[in-house]
Amino acid sequence: MSDNKKPVAGVDIVDRRYVVCLLNEEGKAPRYYSGRSDTPSGQEKLFSLIGGRTVVMPPDPLSTTAVHRFGEAAVSIDRGYEAYRISGIKNGKRMARFVALLAFHQGVKNTALTKKEQEEMFAKQQEELDRLIEFTDSVGPLMERLINGNATPSDVEEMIRLEVESRYPKNGNPPLVEDIDLPDPKEDSFFARLYRYLKAKT
């Protein structure tokens, strides 16, 4: 058994859908989840599941994003999936569990990104920077009106909309402001504090 007690995860991705297998610190008690690999909500669901784990994933743009988010020490892109499939490991739950067990017994191997994967990572970094700049430029005038005491309820709604959209790719589909659940009074996230601050000002 591995000396590393960190829980692990194995991911298989086929036809824009992923299956993730989560194992506990003993490499047992598998739990399976699935989702879309090409939508912001599906990707965020996966990232929420694998955070804090040692993860093995196949070559895929989603895997490159995972490396960018969690680092090479946590996420390994394994290029042996095709060989595993040829040897008899079926795609889906079985493949996800197989690579999760590899992660448990062997740990994460250093991932040497291909030129294409490096370009995808650089593009992701630039996209995040562009979203931050766009958010700052858009929210500036609204913040000025807020500070001057001239903000309206529609300004508050616009600031919330911009904050939500800043967390999604431009080609994604962020939820509508009216569809967003109001934050729990005890929640202390940036969004919750921003929401309460803006409401108090208006």
Compute the average pLDDT of residues 86-115.
85
Average predicted confidence (pLDDT) for the chain:
78
- Which CATH code fits 8-106? 3.30.420.40
Does pLDDT of 50 surpass 90?
Answer: yes
pLDDT of residue 1: 41
Compute the average pLDDT of residues 34-63.
92
Q: What residue ranges of the chain are covered by domains with CATH 3.30.420.40?
A: 8-106
State pLDDT tens for residues 124-183: 666 766 766 776 777 777 777 777 777 777 777 777 777 666 665 555 554 444 444 444
Three-state SS sequence of the chain: CCCCCCCEEEEEEECCEEEEEEECCCCCCCEEEEEECCCHHHHHHHHHHHCCCEEEECCCHHHHHHHHHHCCCCEEECCCHHHHHHCCCCCCHHHHHHHHHHHHHHCCCCCCCCHHHHHHHHHHHHHHHHHHHHHHHHHHHHHHHHHCCCCCHHHHHHHHHHHHHCCCCCCCCCCCHHHCCCCCCCCCCHHHHHHHHHHHHC
Highest-scoring range by mean pLDDT, 16-20, 36-40, 79-83, 101-105 = 16-20
State pLDDT tens for residues 138-154: 777 777 777 777 777 77
